[in-house]
Amino acid sequence: MLIVGSPVSPYVRKILAILHLKNIDYELDPITPFYGNDEFSELSPLRRIPVLIDGDLVVNDSTVIAEYLDEAYPEVPVLPKGARQRAQARWIEEYADSRLGDLCIWGLFFPKIVAPFVFRRTPDEEAIAKVTDTELPIALDWLEARAPAKGFLFGDMVSVADLATACPLRNAAIAGWTPGPARWPKVAAWLARIAAQPCYARTIDFEPAILATRPEGRRAALEAVGVKVAETSFGTDDPRASIMLR
Amino acid sequence: MLIVGSPVSPYVRKILAILHLKNIDYELDPITPFYGNDEFSELSPLRRIPVLIDGDLVVNDSTVIAEYLDEAYPEVPVLPKGARQRAQARWIEEYADSRLGDLCIWGLFFPKIVAPFVFRRTPDEEAIAKVTDTELPIALDWLEARAPAKGFLFGDMVSVADLATACPLRNAAIAGWTPGPARWPKVAAWLARIAAQPCYARTIDFEPAILATRPEGRRAALEAVGVKVAETSFGTDDPRASIMLR
């Protein structure tokens, strides 16, 4: 099984955590976020990461990939039982992928981390303040009303909804914003419980290999933390070849 | 079961077609697209339609609603069997919801139908030409390579992927653009087969009640074509209360 996509994408991080939780062996093609070659367009017509390649099957979109992994490898499930609980899990995943993704990636991580270093663009501090002072607090209030007092959203199991929520907030944390425990005590404690799960913690170990390593050293750095790096690459250094994150 | 959302939204149309196919009784709150009151925000934090309310369960996002209906009412399925085929169906649904939705709704239906009549805005003909002459043809070429030569994407069953593809293209048709059978023969024939399905054809019968009827007459016009219109309403006429379509 091959995963194409950088582990600093929240959507890739979600899928890697699920693979770890399900104990599925995989190779990673850690293409630079925002770049992909022409073959990548064939693979991913919306130019999103991650892409999963399982034999001759190509699966796009992290939500679809998570559903596929849960059906093809059901031993450790990431969706709860029962149509109603599954609908709630899927909706919280969608909320996190869409709303938290927009705010944490396009509102914070991209302007504060990617744009200055990759594109030499100065961040728009007013736009960033709107995200941290108004928009993220509204989203976090919504989450606080739904956060579990103990364990995870659906009891003891770590679900795709728990992981999907933690992953974009990790990118916000890299960009310097975390939900304060005074205003959001249940969310802060819940995120800490998710962060302590080995399936998720392992994805955090991959980050320095991308964020603190020059492009030519990244594959070796990933191998040094135990990642099986794919020989093939769908990446490119052509900055015109921008890809979406999800 | 209550569905909140206008039947001219492709995401509402998809869910109504699934309800018809599964023979599930429902009431419709046909709130005007782009408008919703404060209670609607409580119901749908991303202000998207449709919302499904089944007893005390509220389900947001048309993809999540379709999954819920397929699990809670499995007799007539809209997802095929097998993890691989299900992954393909979900991905084509996502492609249609995202890419065709963007092009057909925000690229054509909104600027050509909604904006001139509701907001008195003149369409940007250059932007529309880019959609009809370049972007939609690329998407249709992608679909032509995947369109079934007979029946539907997964044999004789009408799947959520078939319906999700037809629904935004219906909005493009209302805005004057249809895929020509000379360039896209398989897609054109496939869309005609979907259009002939009673579950889908019935949603088309609802359109004049919205598109050719003044707001105050819409509920009566929907009832005249057999829709059970809900007594409650999450709609508003306040133009500041804009909602997303999906």
The CATH number given to whatever domain includes residue A96 is: 1.20.1050.10
User: Does residue B46 sit at the A interface (CB-CB below 8 Å)?
Assistant: yes
Entry pTM: 0.93
Considering only CB atoms, A91 lies closest to which of B60, B86, B98, namely: B60
The tokens of A102 are what? 């927009």
User: Does residue A11 sit at the B interface (CB-CB below 8 Å)?
Assistant: no
pLDDT of residue A20: 98
Considering only CB atoms, B84 lies closest to which of A57, A91, A98, namely: A57
User: Does residue B98 sit at the A interface (CB-CB below 8 Å)?
Assistant: yes
Within-domain flag for A137: yes
Within-domain flag for A104: yes
Q: How far apart are CA B107 and CA B126, in angstroms?
A: 11
> How does the average pLDDT of chain A come out, rounded?
92
Rg (CA), chain B: 17
> Do residues B42 and B132 share a domain?
no
Q: Are A86 and B99 a contacting pair at CB < 8 A?
A: no
The pLDDT tens digits of the residues spanning A1-23 come to 999 999 999 999 999 999 999 99
A157's CB contacts (< 8 A; 6+ apart) are A77, A78, A80
| Residue B226 near residue B201 (C-beta atoms within 8 A) | no
Identify all chain B residues contacting A61, using CB atoms and an 8 Å cutoff.
90-91, 94
Within-domain flag for A229: no
A113's CB contacts (< 8 A; 6+ apart) are A174, A175, A211
> Do residues A102 and A161 share a domain?
yes
> Do residues A72 and A96 share a domain?
no
> Do residues B68 and B134 share a domain?
no
User: Does residue A57 sit at the B interface (CB-CB below 8 Å)?
Assistant: yes
Q: Backbone phi, then psi, for B4, in 5-degree steps?
A: -100, 120
Strand A2-4, strand A51-54: pairing: antiparallel
Closest C-alpha to B90, from A15, A3, A38, A90: A90
Measured on CA atoms in the order B132, B134, B139, B142, is the torsion positive or negative? positive
Q: How many domains does chain A have?
A: 2
Q: Are B72 and A95 a contacting pair at CB < 8 A?
A: no
The CATH number given to whatever domain includes residue B37 is: 3.40.30.10
> Do residues B87 and B196 share a domain?
yes
Q: What is the 3-state secondary structure (H, E, C) of A37-97?
A: CHHHHHHCCCCCCCEEEECCEEEECHHHHHHHHHHHCCCCCCCCCCHHHHHHHHHHHHHHH
Which segment of A108-122, A169-183, A219-233, B157-171 scores lowest on mean pLDDT?
A108-122
* Domain coverage including residue A183: 83-197
pLDDT of residue B43: 87
B227's CB contacts (< 8 A; 6+ apart) are B28, B30, B206, B209
Q: In whole angstroms, what separates CA B164 from the centre of its chain?
A: 7
Q: A50-75 burial by CB neighbour count: b if 16+ within 10 A, else e?
A: bbbbbeeebbbbbbbbbbbbbebbee
pLDDT at A239 over 60: no
Pairs across A and B, CB distance < 8 A: 73
Considering only CB atoms, B72 lies closest to which of A71, A83, A142, namely: A83
The pLDDT tens digits of the residues spanning A191-237 come to 999 999 999 999 999 999 999 998 889 999 999 999 999 987 776 55
Q: Is A28 helix (H, G, I), strand (E, B) or coil?
A: strand
> Do residues A99 and A18 share a domain?
no
The tokens of B56 are what? 């005390």
The pLDDT tens digits of the residues spanning A73-89 come to 999 999 999 999 999 99
Amino acid (1-letter code) at residue A118: V
Q: Are A67 and B84 a contacting pair at CB < 8 A?
A: no
Within-domain flag for B231: no
Closest Cα in chain B to A41: B142
Considering only CB atoms, A46 lies closest to which of B65, B68, B95, namely: B95
| Residue A34 near residue A242 (C-beta atoms within 8 A) | yes
Q: How far apart are CA B240 and CA B34, in angstroms?
A: 9
User: Does residue A22 sit at the B interface (CB-CB below 8 Å)?
Assistant: no
Q: Which residue has the higher pLDDT, A118 or A157?
A: A157
Within-domain flag for A98: yes
pLDDT at A246 over 70: no
Beta bridge partners of residue B7, listed in sequence order = none
**Residue B73 Cα, gap to closest chain A Cα (Å):** 9
Identify all chain A residues contacting B71, using CB atoms and an 8 Å cutoff.
83, 86-87
pLDDT of residue B117: 79
A111's CB contacts (< 8 A; 6+ apart) are A121, A123, A124, A127, A128
Within-domain flag for A235: no
pLDDT of residue B216: 86
User: Does residue A61 sit at the B interface (CB-CB below 8 Å)?
Assistant: yes
> Do residues A117 and A42 share a domain?
no
User: Which of A22, A64, A94, A97 would you mutate first to test chain B, the one with the most B CBs within 10 A?
Assistant: A64
User: Does residue A246 sit at the B interface (CB-CB below 8 Å)?
Assistant: no
pLDDT at A149 over 60: yes
Rg (CA), chain A: 17
> Do residues B107 and B170 share a domain?
yes
Q: What is the pLDDT along chain B (246 residues), one digit of tens a residue?
A: 999 999 999 999 999 999 999 999 999 999 876 666 778 888 888 888 999 999 999 999 999 999 999 999 999 999 999 999 999 999 999 999 999 999 999 999 999 998 887 778 888 999 999 999 999 999 999 999 999 999 999 999 999 999 999 999 999 999 999 999 999 999 999 999 999 999 999 999 999 999 999 888 999 999 999 999 998 777 655 544 555 555
The tokens of A231 are what? 């020989």
> Do residues B127 and B195 share a domain?
yes
Within-domain flag for A234: no
Within-domain flag for A239: no
Considering only CB atoms, A71 lies closest to which of B68, B83, B98, namely: B83
pLDDT of residue A80: 98
> Do residues A31 and A125 share a domain?
no
Considering only CB atoms, B57 lies closest to which of A57, A65, A84, namely: A84
Report H helices in chain A: 10-21, 38-43, 62-72, 83-95, 101, 125-130, 136-144, 160-174, 185-195, 198-205, 208-211, 218-224
Question: In chain B, what is the straight-line distance between the N-terminal and C-terminal CA atoms, in Å?
Answer: 19
**Residue B237 Cα, gap to closest chain A Cα (Å):** 25
Q: pLDDT band at residue A106, thresholds of 50, 70 and 90?
A: very high
Identify all chain A residues contacting B142, using CB atoms and an 8 Å cutoff.
45
> Do residues A187 and A92 share a domain?
yes
pLDDT of residue B7: 94
Q: How far apart are CA A36 and CA A42, in angstroms?
A: 10
Identify all chain B residues contacting A24, using CB atoms and an 8 Å cutoff.
none
Closest Cα in chain A to B58: A88
| Residue B19 near residue B60 (C-beta atoms within 8 A) | no
pLDDT at A32 over 80: no
> Do residues A105 and A14 share a domain?
no
User: Does residue B117 sit at the A interface (CB-CB below 8 Å)?
Assistant: no
